[in-house]
């Protein structure tokens, strides 16, 4: 099982951690929400629990609860800028559908 991070996303994660002043990396998860069923949850990872999977790429760490890998295995995290908008983008091969606004997905 794997989660990958693009260089752009890794650079943004590193910037946010430096600005915050502490933290181990990015925590990625899912929760039931949105019109398609699940939405991504992004937070800082301040600790690693026994049931966490840890992925390290481009000098940053991404932490995912093992149970969430059912929905996130193979996901690629990217960071894009379009005009004034900046956001993390998730390319999830397990997603069978997503809502029009891109905030939620189905598996």
Number of structural domains the chain divides into: 1
89 DSSP β-pair partners: 78
20-25's contacts with Cβ under 8 Å and 24+ in sequence apart are 20/44, 22/46, 24/48, 24/61, 24/63, 25/60, 25/61, 25/62, 25/63
In the predicted structure, residue 50 carries a pLDDT above the cut 90? yes
The CATH number linked to 101 is 2.60.300.12
* Contact by Cβ (8 Å): 51, 65: yes
Q: pLDDT (tens digit, 9 = 90+) per residue, 11-37?
A: 999 999 999 999 999 999 999 876 668
The model carries a pTM of 0.87
Q: What is the domain extent for residue 78? A: 4-106
> Span 51-61, mean pLDDT?
97
Considering only residues 3 and 1, tell me which one the structure prediction assigns the higher pLDDT.
Answer: 3
């Amino acid at each position: 099982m794997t989660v990958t991070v693009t260089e752009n996303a890794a650079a943004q994660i590193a910037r946010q951690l430096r600005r915050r002043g502490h933290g181990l990396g990015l925590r990625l998860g899912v929760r039931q929400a949105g019109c398609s069923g699940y939405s991504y949850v992004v937070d800082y990872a301040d600790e690693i629990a026994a049931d966490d999977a840890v992925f390290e790429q481009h000098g940053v760490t991404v932490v995912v609860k093992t149970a969430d890998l059912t929905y996130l295995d193979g996901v690629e995290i990217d960071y894009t800028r379009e005009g004034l908008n900046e956001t993390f983008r998730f390319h999830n091969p397990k997603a069978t559908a997503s809502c029009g606004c891109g905030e939620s997905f189905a598996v």
